[in-house]
A and B are shown apart, each in its own frame.
Chain A
Amino acid sequence: MRIHLTSVFVDDQEKAARFYTDVLGFVKKHDISMGEGGDRWLTVVSPEDPDGPELLLEPSGHPAVQPYKTALVEDGIPATAFAVSDVRAEFERLRGLGVFFTQEPLEMGPVTTAVLDDTCGNLIQIEHMKQGEHTS
């Protein structure tokens, strides 16, 4: 078994598509209309791993979604996490593009993390492990 698809609930799929591609740098994989409600099956992948796991930018229409997202964001809890090669460099790049970070880069032993606002109601953690400590 392997992880093929994971998802974040986004407030606005169009806005999310732009943020996750233009700002974060992912590429669109699938964009399929899901009928009259205007919802789309919208996934992105990393350009470094185009056949790898897809991230589904899922509509937030279900009534349970907003309270869930609101409570997580209030406490600063990320919805998911992405690996980068250098958190500090990515932080500088994204901040230059106007991205708001709820947690600036923080080195904690082998792991460095930062947390950003995806402008669609989620926080996203970016992280890297020190060389040679990927297995921990």
Chain B
Amino acid sequence: MAEDVFKALADPTRRHILDELVERDGQTLFEICARLMNKHGLGLSRQAISQHLAVLESAGLVHSRREGRCKFHDLDTEPLELIATRWLRPDAPESTP
């Protein structure tokens, strides 16, 4: 699990996706693509961004949900807490490496 989180965070595009989800939670793929293009100059294909989202999902940092016929992506910062406690609060019960 922690391994997946480090891998997910190692990529700048994926960090930009997280930045944008912090600004507004619950975005469609279209909105994420538009933000990366217009705010960060990242003209990636939708397929490429889908793949980045899949990596973030498998690390537990993003969850997708369906509302009506649409799919929205939400941020989940809990995996980051687990990383932080490992070094910042090593006595905490969740601090298993």
Contacts and interface: CB of A to CB of B under 8 A. Distances in A.
Contacts of B38: 108-109, 111
Given A75-B71, A76-B71, A108-B39, A102 B28 contact: yes
Contacts, number: 54
Interface in A35-80: 70, 73-78
B70 A102 contact: yes
B35 A74 contact: no
A115 B30 contact: yes
Interface string A92-125: 0000000010111010110101010100010100
Contact of A77 (B27, B30, B72): B30
A103 to B, nearest CB: 5
B35 A76 contact: no
B83 interface: no
A75 B70 CA distance: 7
Contact of B30 (A76, A100, A109, A117): A76
Interface of A: 70, 73-78, 100, 102-104, 106, 108-109, 111, 113, 115, 117, 121, 123
